[in-house]
Amino acid sequence: MTTPTTTPPPPTPTFLKLSFPAPRVLLIRMDRPSALNAMSTTGQWEMHAVWQWFDTEPNLSIAVLTGTGRAFSAGADLKEWSNSMNDDVDAKDRMGNAPAFKPLSRRLGKKPVIAAVNGLAMGGGCEFVVNCDIVVASEDAVFGLPEVKRGVAPIGGCLPRLIRTVGLQRASEFALLGDPITAQKAYEWGMVNKVVRKEEVVSEAVRYAAAIARNSPDAIICTRAGIRQGWESAAVERAVDVTLEGPWVELQRGENIREGLRAFGEKRVPVWKESKL
């Protein structure tokens, strides 16, 4: 699909490859296969910029993230991280403390992201998956948080999120042992929505994305905000109130709610406007 007209234009990263496989859908491919798509500091800054652009681009509603080669992502570049631990490097400048570290695993954002896990999702790559809204995995995908075996810890934001998804005991088993699990086990635990053949993983994720993108862009943002508030906050009713007081108010001010209701009454397909949320 040709690149949609966007303002401002998309970033031009080197670690990430951007494409547009369906209307209102962004496909992001991590493209460093020789290093299992491990992210250098430069790669993390690129991803940080892309997510910022994606959330403000009115022609896009949803993104799909995948990897090139046999890995989704091995997470942070541990060789670079090791070098950043030299005594002459200020602690605040070390890799794990860089502002762009955790570009997806702690992303709040406005719009949903689907992980198309094509292979190994280890360390930070697994942390990305935990924070995605929908996860499609290939049959041979492997998930792991091996940080404890390397003397570090999975501090990218996945631990409290993982508890909410799989429960305390499973999260503890997964993170404290540091052993990998299969796509099937991740599916049984609730980390993965669907397991498919490797050659189908991206197309299936894009199918999900395209189906979601056909809905009102305002309603997508508002609905995701309500889901996220419930997942990230302790009080259910407070999560409802936060959504009602913020995204829901903005949704009702927009044109898309009127268009959706009119289209229903007129028995036609709605024609959505760019989201102003």
Residues with a catalytic annotation lie at 76, 124, 127, 147
3-state secondary structure of 59: coil
Give the alpha-carbon dihedral of 14, 67, 220, 256, to 10 degrees. 50
Which ranges constitute the DSSP H helices of 41-178? 41-56, 78-83, 124-130, 158-166, 168-177
Pairing of strands 134-138, 181-182: unpaired
Beta bridge partner(s), residue 121: 73, 143
Q: Where are the beta strands (DSSP E) in the chain?
A: 16-22, 25-30, 62-67, 71-73, 113-117, 120-122, 134-138, 142-144, 181-182, 194-196
Picking from 65, 29, 25, the residue whose alpha carbon sits closest to that of residue 220 is 25
**CA 232, CA 228: separation in Å to the nearest integer?**
6
Q: Are 126 and 105 in contact (CB under 8 A)?
A: no
